[in-house]
Structure 1
């Protein structure tokens, strides 16, 4: 985030992110609360994940909102998609205090529209304008608003997911599932959903620890060693892991293989798509989606990276299916946002209907491989762009989001992160070793 009036953008690709008491001071959070309360000018939902700094930020944001005369509904610690579902069902805007997959020293402020979607950029700009101009609504003492508490969001959310899948068939399978909630916001919702679906559940890190002491919040293979070992040795049908706010889910098959989020997205599309439909996904997702959609008579629309961008494009294009390659499935029939619990329900639904295990289902997909790396954003990104253009001069170039260079099914994507001070590198190929070599070459080029 930048609080410099000369660079008035506060919201990144997924809310305002920063370090509490450095970027997200109580004073700043209260002022943002005043801007949010002024913009929405009505009842506002507030929820959070379980980071240690959550109470400080919630209280500051809430104080600012109440000072404008806008009431707040406090619904507690829940996954981000649960807050969004509550907003959608009650037609209320909301604020989620979370930094999603970022390390525990970060936190964030994310705004939600009354349809449950993350606030579109034009509305974020209006909040930023109110913040910088300080044109806040200021209530007289007798019109200052109050907070109310509602604990119904948990059941509303879990039941909402169950309404979208074939519960009877899933219960008949009697799945055995290992779940790692990573000390995050899904520590109750995902185990409860699995229990209601008749599964035998073994949990890892299902305690709300705001320091994420068990593992880093990002659900990537390096952070899921214990879950992978448990699934491999424990006779489970599959394992599932979430990030801090559980808008994403990644899976481990019964043999202990980590399944890339891109593959679960492709599996979802393969079994849920209908002829003539559109699928929306960012430039970072693999070519497997095009292969599947072509076979099913559907089309793929590419966007910049960012769940809000994907969701908004889905709404504009009347697309039911979409998502990102990081484990973020978006099922429009449920709600237009990434939803880790809905992803779990979808995978169980497919497994139950097809009477197949997860590895068998994944093996039927077009096989492409994405290698991901990050490097510190210490230098000017534009210089990296120029070096990539020179090094891969014969490749097709797209500047939709960062730079993407393509040669057949081989491609390279480099883009600055919208949530952390890093550059994200993606390399893609139909051959794993080729993808890894491209990644190595590009990383060396970037570090040079």
Structure 2
């Protein structure tokens, strides 16, 4: 079965990520509405470019024109191009930060945003019911390649110029920054180098070559994956280290001391920067598993913090609904009003660089000042694998029985995108199934590490999670 999750459709290559299933998705997209043209691009994963051609074959069978981005591209560039070209849909062949054995498809609407739930649910339903006759009549790429249904496009310069036009370029140029970049063998290298060179930053690249195995590690810019970047920044005294995930929609930052700065902190820093230094006004949107420091910042400036389900499509939707100025998630994805509606690790890096140049303070110093103003927030992330039988039990406990822990300090417990428990001291914990991987996730935030550990243990006991199920 083809099933789109919070971050698109992702499957193991050769298992469910096959030519036939890609045809199914493309045929389904073709029947969603009257579609005339689709922007399509790909990342550096194994079979990504070939999968583009397979997708184009099925689109052409419905006389739909494909605007093909010639060369591996960041997902945010594909989103930008979808809106720029006035396409009916955008398609990115990527599995983002998933392991190398995965590939997948992300779908974007004509405004360049992540397709909403009703669109992807309908797409899944149609894809699973595509007839054998329709599959058998799919055209071949060599028949389409030189027809009027296929065009190569080059939106790179427009994308870079759009970001540059939003920045305080003079402030960055006058700072003479030295920045180390780790694309994690993904697609951000050209964009980051072009962007940073334009504002006169000195740059060094590691892990920039094409490697479909991502150097044998997960292409996710988390602290466990960025030790080489940490060492480089510290040893060579760079002002900043910037990493992006496989398709460049998530960001990881290393400060000048070689420390990993958690995405929660980055999101808080940027919201504070927009309010305090750029004098913007507006709400912030976070998902249910992202820091509540954002709530405190919003309160200080008389603004609102809007909570959404996990999945950037929900953040984008709420940003439009509440006219918010920034939205993001604890996994490293964020977007800012005036740019694309989806997350963009390249733009996020550029805005963070502007921030340290305008404030004339390092990321490390700014993070400490934020902590002094709004308090210390300790964040815990925990993943668990399970058998199909165990998942059935977890689903029953979480969504049928709606179990709630017996804990005296609970202020509120509710089920939305999983079970979230708020405590009277402002701390919280949530248990939910990942929408991109077959895992259960438990997040907790409190004023001390001991408290987060206590709350995680409480949730593990409630759900009868065993030690050997922890990842």
- TM (norm. structure 2) is 0.88
Q: 2:395 aligns with which of 382, 404, 416?
A: 382
Residue equivalent to 2:22: 29
Residue equivalent to 1:262: 264
The CA distance in 2 between the partners of 1:243 and 1:156, in whole Å, is: 22
Residue equivalent to 1:7: none
- 5 Å-filtered alignment, 1:8-157, equals 10-40=3-33, 41-75=35-69, 76-92=71-87, 93-134=89-130, 146-150=149-153, 152-157=154-159
The CA distance in 1 between the partners of 2:26 and 2:296, in whole Å, is: 45
The CA distance in 2 between the partners of 1:85 and 1:382, in whole Å, is: 37
1:432 to 2:445 alignment? no
8 A contact 1:381–1:416 mirrored in 2? no
8 A contact 1:276–1:299 mirrored in 2? no
Q: 1:147 and 1:438, CA in 2 relative to 1: closer, same or farther beyond 3 A?
A: same
The CA distance in 1 between the partners of 2:327 and 2:111, in whole Å, is: 17
Q: 1:446 and 1:166, CA in 2 relative to 1: closer, same or farther beyond 3 A?
A: farther
Q: Any unmatched runs of 5+ in structure 1?
A: 4-9
The CA distance in 2 between the partners of 1:43 and 1:335, in whole Å, is: 20
The CA distance in 1 between the partners of 2:60 and 2:331, in whole Å, is: 36
- 5 Å-filtered alignment, 1:45-444, equals 45-75=39-69, 76-92=71-87, 93-134=89-130, 146-150=149-153, 152-213=154-215, 215-273=217-275, 277-365=282-370, 366=374, 367-378=376-387, 379=390, 380-382=393-395, 385=398, 389-392=404-407, 395=410, 396-407=412-423, 408-440=425-457, 442-443=459-460
Q: Any unmatched runs of 5+ in structure 2?
A: 467-471
8 A contact 2:60–2:139 mirrored in 1? no
Q: 1:97 and 1:275, CA in 2 relative to 1: closer, same or farther beyond 3 A?
A: closer
SS in 2 for 1:292: helix
Give CA-to-partner distance per residue, 1:40-89, whole Å, 9 cap, x none. 52111110110012133222211111111101011031110011011111
SS in 2 for 1:447: coil
Shift of 1:368: 0.8
SS in 2 for 1:61: helix
261-270 or 20-29, larger mean C-alpha shift? 20-29
Alignment RMSD? 2.3
Shift of 1:220: 1.0
The CA distance in 2 between the partners of 1:363 and 1:426, in whole Å, is: 23
8 A contact 2:431–2:459 mirrored in 1? no
The CA distance in 2 between the partners of 1:200 and 1:275, in whole Å, is: 30
Q: 1:352 and 1:183, CA in 2 relative to 1: closer, same or farther beyond 3 A?
A: same
8 A contact 2:74–2:188 mirrored in 1? yes
Give CA-to-partner distance per residue, 1:181-227, whole Å, 9 cap, x none. 10011122112212222111111101121210153211111111111
Q: 1:127 and 1:436, CA in 2 relative to 1: closer, same or farther beyond 3 A?
A: same
The CA distance in 2 between the partners of 1:66 and 1:194, in whole Å, is: 38
Question: Number of residue pairs matched?
Answer: 440
Q: 1:106 and 1:140, CA in 2 relative to 1: closer, same or farther beyond 3 A?
A: closer
The CA distance in 2 between the partners of 1:158 and 1:337, in whole Å, is: 16
Residue equivalent to 2:469: none
Q: 1:255 and 1:79, CA in 2 relative to 1: closer, same or farther beyond 3 A?
A: same
8 A contact 2:405–2:459 mirrored in 1? no
Q: 1:359 and 1:397, CA in 2 relative to 1: closer, same or farther beyond 3 A?
A: same
Shift of 1:438: 3.2
